[in-house]
Amino acid sequence: MTTTTTSLTNNQHLLKWVNDMAAMCEPDNVLWLDGSDAENKRMVEEALAKKVFLPLNAKKHPGCYLHRSNPNDVARVEHLTFICSRNKEDAGTTNHWMAPEEAYAKLKPLYKASMKGRTMYVIPYVMGPLGSVHSKVGIELTDSVYVALNMRLMTRMGKAALEFLGDKNDFNRGLHCTGDVNPERRYICHFPEDNTIWSFGSGYGGNALLGKKCLALRIGSYLGRTEGWMAEHMLILGVENPKGETFYVAAAFPSACGKTNFAMMVPPKAFAGWKIYTVGDDIAWLRVGEDGRLWAVNPENGYFGVAPGTNYSTNPNAMHCVDKDSIFTNVAVTEDGTVWWEGMDGEVPEALTDWQGRPWKKGSTEKAAHPNSRFTAPAKNNPVLSKHVDDPKGVPISALIFGGRRSNTAPLVLESFNWAHGVFMGATLGSETTAAATGQVGVVRRDPMAMLPFCGYNVGDYWQHWLDMQSKLKNPPRIFQVNWFRKNTDGKFLWPGYGENMRVLKWILERCQGKCDATETLFGWVPKEGQLELEGLAISPEAMREVTSICLKEWKTELESQKAFFESIGPRMPKTLELIRQQLLSLLS
Ligand code: GTP
Ligand code: SPV
Ligand code: MN
């Protein structure tokens, strides 16, 4: 017999759906979350009692807890992620597809009675600022207290979301069940035409926090195309110059390729008077404003950030974000109960407990923290949070930036010749794979607009949507491409990265303001000699030359490999992009 707390709403569509799902999953309790502090306290206690949360040193990490996920469940699973559109063609060749009726039929038996002995949490949440036309409501039903506590940090949830929804029926229906965390029975299914997400068998990040990649990107991109806006895997930042003028940029880098770091970077000493403000670190929803500019909101309310590599010199603001009230997933712990990961400041401790709870000794060949270990922190902890994060109209975007992780080929920065060429740059973005998804790490793959795993419809249609946006934008942002990850022949990064990326950002902004001219190359505009501000930067002239160099032989290979990718897209491939490719290639032959 299922018991239900007061449902907090009279929305009949919502009540019926929750009842239907509860009838299928058969939880012992259905608990509607109101988002209050008292409720959070109860849930933390429950998580501690169930050992879903492990305590940390309360003095050093007030309000913070450690979670260890099942070792088979530590990253997104792209091969088990499906777009279940009615027509296969609408999912396109870059997505895994399952017919909706087949997916529902396959998953229903898995959900059947799957929550017996457990609680079904009903999480009403809003993606985007409350009261914004940009924003969307989702309801996630989950049997995971960890997911519920993460969603509390990552979204605007509880009563406010139900008020925002009122009696409308246009909410996203998200059903999540942890199941027995068996990779053989793990499915992340999206039904764009039903505004529905069914996730089974994983408790981790993007697989389970349904507001994030599932709603804000996969379903969001589909809604964006239908409704005339764009959902992108982009950070949003504000940059204030010494004159006190603030400009905003949005940048798409693939998973674990530097969005969080760029979004909250600290400019180097030589940049006195320059300030960076974070609007978002992972996702941007973009709309054309009445002024013909592109306006962005961050649908999220917290950060689910990569832990390894984060420290007080690379990203002090992220370190402050996790000072309190944060959740750590799959990091290591020191003997005094503080968190640790590879790339943390200071000496490597002699002894640790690793991410799987095993003893770990300094010098071990195994990583103490999982390479995709993460922190979940509320945005309000960010010392450089933009005052516009809750602004319903968002912020106006001056530049869009695409960046991959490339040891070679891609130079530090390139500016596109025009919108279509910029779309081409995004569409052909290549990047070496990372630990953010299961599978081999370090292989170059095409990751168009950093959306390969997140585009909820045919990527050919997605590119056409990008191309079509131009005609709606009286004042389009300029489009750039960057690469922080070029390596020398010894395999060392040539560019110091992190806060020093401010130097590239400054050039980008000056280009947007028409303040400086640039050198034309075959593949885009690059800074003129002396235009990149290098004061106070210890980089050799050779390294600088190498990191900005364009090797025609490498570019020929690049353009040729793009051909196969474009051909694989099929009949919905926009001709414009293939023509740009051919034109660039013809300049090389
Ligand atoms: P997701 O949350 O997976 O979408 O990742 P992200 O794009 O936000 O990447 P994040 O900023 O967390 O950085 C991922 C990894 O790259 C971390 O280990 C960082 O330390 C490292 N990193 C970030 N920026 C730079 C950079 O400019 N140079 C170098 N060499 N490494 C960087
Ligand atoms: C990513 O992989 O791009 C992330 C982490 O931001 S996850 O939420 O797992 O998708
Ligand atoms: Mn991401």
- The ligand with the least distance to the CA atom of 263 is 1
> Which ligand 1 atom is the nearest neighbour of the CA of 253?
7
Helix (H) or strand (E) holding 134: none
Residue 310 has pLDDT above 70, yes or no: yes
Which 8-state DSSP code applies to residue 76? B
Q: Which residues does the annotation mark as catalytic?
A: 257
Confidence at residue 571, expressed as pLDDT on a 0 to 100 scale: 97
Quickly state the pLDDT bin for 574 (edges 50, 70, 90): very high
**Strand segments (E) across 367-472:** 374-378, 395-403, 413-415, 430-432, 444-446
Mean pLDDT of 276-300: 98
Higher pLDDT, 7 or 570: 570
Buried b (16+ CB within 10 A) or exposed e, 301-330: bbbbbbbbbbbeebbbbbbbbbeebbbbbb
Long-range contacts of 49-58 (CB under 8 A, 24+ apart): 50/145, 52/144, 52/145, 52/146, 53/146, 53/149, 53/327, 54/333, 55/337, 56/328, 56/333, 56/337, 56/338, 56/339, 57/336, 57/337, 57/338
Q: 108-134 burial, b for 16+ CB within 10 Å, e for fewer?
A: eebbeebbeebbbbbbbbbbbbeebeb
> Of the ligands numbered here, which is closest to the C-alpha atom of 438?
2
On the CB side of 184, CA atoms within 13 Å amount to: 0
Q: What is the DSSP-derived secondary structure letter of residue 115?
A: T
The response to whether residue 255 sits with its C-beta less than 6 Å from ligand 2 reads yes
Looking at the chain, the whole-number percentage of residues with pLDDT higher than 70 is 100
Proximal ligand: closest to the CA of 260:
1
Residue 5 has pLDDT above 90, yes or no: no
Give, in order, the Cα–Cα distances in Å from 412 to each of 12, 128, 304, 415.
54, 32, 27, 11
Q: Is the CB of 76 under 6 A from ligand 1?
A: no
**CA gap 165, 242 in Å, rounded:** 42
- What pLDDT digit, counting tens, does each position of 154-206 carry? 999 999 999 999 999 999 999 999 999 999 999 999 999 999 999 999 999 99
Give me the count of residues in the chain.
Answer: 589
Q: Whose CA is nearest to atom 28 of ligand 1?
A: 497
- Of the candidates 356, 345, 312, 350, the one whose C-alpha atom is nearest the C-alpha of residue 334 is 350
DSSP 17-52: HHHHHHHHH--SEEEE----HHHHHHHHHHHHHTTS
**Mutate-to-test residue for ligand 2 from 253, 282, 449, 455, highest number of ligand atoms within 8 A of CB:** 282
- Contact 317 CB / ligand 1 (< 6 Å): no
Residue pointed to by tokens 């450089």: 384
Question: Which is it for strands 332-334 and 351-353: parallel, antiparallel or unpaired?
Answer: antiparallel
- Average pLDDT estimate for 38-59: 98
Q: What is the pLDDT averaged over residues 138-162?
A: 98
Tokens of 275: 């300030």
Q: Strand, coil or helix: what is 340?
A: strand
Tell me: pLDDT of 7 over 90: no
Contact 236, 296 (CB under 8 A): yes
User: How far away, in angstroms, is 70 Cα from ligand 1 center?
Assistant: 24
pLDDT score of 401 more than 70: yes
Q: What is the pTM of this model?
A: 0.98
Q: How far is CA 10 from each of CA 21, 27, 32, 166, 167, rounded to the nearest angstrom? A: 17, 21, 13, 8, 7
**What ligand 1 atom has the least distance to the C-alpha of 305?**
2
Given pLDDT bands bounded at 50, 70 and 90, which one contains residue 589?
Answer: confident
**Per-residue DSSP letters for 487-510?**
B-TTS-BSS--GGGGHHHHHHHHH
- Say whether pLDDT at 1 is over 70: no
The pLDDT tens digits of the residues spanning 417-472 come to 999 999 999 999 999 999 999 999 999 999 999 999 999 999 999 999 999 999 99
Both structure tokens of 246: 């603030």
φ/ψ of 398, rounded to 5, equals -90, -35
SS (H, E, C) 144-190: CHHHHHHHHHHCEECHHHHHHHCCCCCCEEEEEECCCCCHHHCEEEE
Rg from Cα positions in the chain: 23
Catalogue the E-assigned strands of 307-387. Answer: 327-329, 332-334, 339-340, 351-353, 359-361, 374-378
For 473-487, the pLDDT digits (tens) are 999 999 999 999 999
Say what the pLDDT of residue 209 is. 98
Identify the residue whose C-alpha is closest to ligand 2 atom 5. 206
225 lines ligand 2 (CB under 6 A): no
pLDDT 10s digits, 60-116: 999 999 999 999 999 999 999 999 999 999 999 999 999 999 999 999 999 999 999
